[in-house]
Amino acid sequence: MAIQVVTTEQSTLFTIRTKHTTYQMKADEYGVLLHLWYGASVEGDMSYLLDYPDVGFSGNLYEAENRRTYSLNTLPLEYATEGVGDFRIPAVAATHADGSNALDLRYQSYNILKGKYAIAGLPAVYADEDEAETLEIVLKDTATDLQVTLRYGVLPELDMLTRCVSIQNLGTTPITLTKAASFCLDLPYGKWEWMHFHGRHAMERITERTPLIHGIQESSSTRGTSSHHQNPTAILCTPDCTETNGSCFGAAFLYSGSFQTKIEYDQMRQARMVMGLHPDLFRWELQPNATFDTPEVLFTYSDSGLETLSHRFQKTIREHVCRGKYQKIERPVLINNWEATYFDFNEEKILKIAEEAARLGVDMLVLDDGWFGKRDDDCSGLGDWFVNEQKLRGGLGTLVQKVKALGMRFGIWFEPEMISEDSDLYRTHPDWAIQIPGRNPMRSRYQLLLDLSNPDVQDYLYERISAILNSADISYVKWDMNRSISDWYTALLPANRQGELPHRYVLGVYALLERLTSAFPEVLFEGCSGGGGRFDAGMLYYCPQIWCSDDTDAYERTIIQYGTSFFYPVSAVGSHVSVVPNHQTGRVTPIETRAVTAMAGSFGYELDLNLLSDEEKESVTKQIQQFKEYGSLIHNGTYYRLSNPLQDAYALWAFVSEDKKEVLVQGMIFRTEANMVRHCVPLRGLDAEAVYRTKDGAAYTGDTLMHAGVLLPKSWGDYYPVSMHFVSE
């Protein structure tokens, strides 16, 4: 069994074992649940490490009497609370009926279950009974009837753990939750650096690594989404940690709304990481006999560097978070009309793009914004999900039939969560928009948001989107969301419960997505929020791929995709070839380089193919053929980061097949210099004894490629593409 429990008169010791790790905690003689160890596999009771001095101004537990070395302010705790002497970051906080805020959680019982727990209404890792176990530890407040159940999902072969928390009010009066984090990890040993993934619209998930300071560091979002600006993931690593060496812990929040990750380095040189719902946008009235379930955190430890950490997250998210028909299969090569036409199109323009795309080998045409309602710019029409037959004179069904006659499939864009004030829906239901009575709402992109916590709104959107999807043979939906959320207010809740809306909004989004993906299992749903503004594992539970960024510049995409790869699988990354000069940066890169970069994801095009030269069109045909040849390797192979584009003179990555017989090395050389020395880069993950050959007949042993490396091609011009394919005998 992966979960072992040893009970004595003094304590209960919990040990969770995976293939390469041990996680251990203990309910001690006072019922306090202490964290003992998370790291490489070890044997025995690790509580011998808890040797603490009498630390001034660190209060002592009442039952410990004059035992001044026993303090909740210094001990590593499994789920930290506030108001009872631990002055570090709490994981949970509540206000009781008498106005007090203290929570003193003590151990009550445990339960071990086969398989992996699920969370009603929320995304969560799933696994078969023979792949996972669940540990439940029940804690209870000493003075009230608040009960907390810590849930641990264990996937031993993947070296993955999950955590979530159920908080239940067993009393007779309401309790107000003001913080309910999903994950609390105390590390009483080691020296750590923090990696997080920051950014902005059109430049998301930029990797930043910094030493922990004595104090508190934070990455978070209060935007109603996980955001372009911080990703709901974090890594703690030792200063010597590299891709292949050193210790590191990683955590990913399976949630698509506002979040907070806080890390505190305390007076004892201990690190605490707390991850969960952002408390500034959370307040939940927990009625008697009611339960609140937090979202889930997925986490792991590696003692062999960041590469191992990433491989575990990529595999787990792809195989145990993503669902449905497109979980593992290769995706169609698509062309999106957005950067080709923006709002200025009609049926003839779209068909002209489709005809050329079909001739060059593209599998699917995606019709982006502007096909519905009164929608000639971004100031009107959102919410009116009815086909604009002035643009599409034969209706959507006729257009789809014509596209299918070309041998292509058809996809379509929605922005379901939004509403324009200039829309029939707003004129009929202004009460459905999120806005505070008596205040002018904040506009963004000149649009407001629908209150997705409202079941009537969910029903309307389900009805309208279903009607469109049933009206024609549609194979793909791009689900966009183009603003941050403010002006939080809903008429459905009383004044003292308005703090519930931000979380209820996300639950509404999930409920609608669950209904639609269940009703249309053959449709590929792609998430989008101005590109990468909601790129998180929670959204991947419903949409197996997400538009990685609105920045389609090939050079900047190497940086964005580099940061994305620390947690997310390549198959989840929507990535396209776009026009030059690039619409976001004005940069000019070769079409071959744009294709190589876009192939590190779900491949497609974002331009008008008719405007390309004959030579460029020939390149497009070759690129599509190449992607289809390598597609299985790209999506199913093991991904290796061979450079850091923020530091190196090139961006380079590789895909290695599971049997290690096939290797694809791709990337770009950023600049070419006169008399330039060629770059030599070692590969990883190969069979040392195998002989690998290129298409031109050159042969290398695996150990040669891994130790001496591959010579990158002689470059000519800036942003020079790299693509090398090796197959073993």
Give the DSSP per-residue string, 340-351. HHTT---HHHHH
Q: Give the confidence band of 729 by pLDDT, cuts at 50, 70, 90.
A: confident
- Please give the average per-residue pLDDT across 26-37, as a whole number: 98
For residue 707, CA distances in Å to 123, 637, 680, 681, 729 come to: 42, 21, 10, 9, 20
Q: What kind and span of H or E run contains 320? A: helix 306-320
- In DSSP terms, 160 is beta-bridged to 155
Residue 394: the pLDDT is 85
C-alpha 590/C-alpha 7 separation (Å) is 66
Q: Does the pLDDT of residue 618 top 90, yes or no?
A: yes
What average pLDDT does the structure give for the chain? 97
**What confidence tens digit (pLDDT) does each residue in 459-518 have?**
999 999 999 999 999 999 999 999 999 999 999 999 999 999 999 999 999 999 999 999
Q: Does the pLDDT of residue 70 top 90, yes or no?
A: yes
Residue 386: the pLDDT is 97
Residue 36: the pLDDT is 98
- Please give the average per-residue pLDDT across 313-328, as a whole number: 97
Q: Does the pLDDT of residue 440 top 90, yes or no?
A: yes
Q: Does the pLDDT of residue 13 top 90, yes or no?
A: yes
Q: What per-residue string of b and e applies to 560-585 under the rule 16 or more CB within 10 Å gives b?
A: bbbbbbbbbbbbbbbbbbbbbebbbb
Residue 1: the pLDDT is 78
C-alpha 122/C-alpha 513 separation (Å) is 11
- Please give the average per-residue pLDDT across 274-294, as a whole number: 98
Residue 23: the pLDDT is 98
Annotated active-site positions, please? 536, 616
What is the DSSP secondary-structure string of 516-580? HHHH-TTSEEEE-BTTBTT-SHHHHTT-SEEE--S---HHHHHHHHHHHTTTS-GGGEEEEEE-S
Q: Does the pLDDT of residue 595 top 90, yes or no?
A: yes
Q: Give the confidence band of 189 by pLDDT, cuts at 50, 70, 90.
A: confident
Residue 68: the pLDDT is 96
582 Rama class: left (phi>0) / alpha (psi -120 to 50) / beta? beta
C-alpha 14/C-alpha 348 separation (Å) is 66
- Please give the average per-residue pLDDT across 235-257, as a whole number: 98
Task: Find the farthest-apart pair of alpha carbons in the chain and give their distance in angstroms, rounded.
Answer: 85
Report helix, strand or coil for 182.
Answer: strand
- In DSSP terms, 301 is beta-bridged to 249
- In DSSP terms, 137 is beta-bridged to 110, 150
**What confidence tens digit (pLDDT) does each residue in 529-549 have?**
999 999 999 999 999 999 999
**What confidence tens digit (pLDDT) does each residue in 163-179 have?**
999 999 999 999 999 99
Q: Give the confidence band of 190 by pLDDT, cuts at 50, 70, 90.
A: confident
Q: Percentage of the chain with pLDDT > 90?
A: 98
**What confidence tens digit (pLDDT) does each residue in 102-132 have?**
999 999 999 999 999 999 999 999 999 999 9
Residue 497: the pLDDT is 97
Regarding beta strands 33-40 and 638-641, do their DSSP bridges make them parallel or antiparallel, or are they unpaired?
unpaired
CA pseudo-torsion sign 341, 346, 352, 353: positive
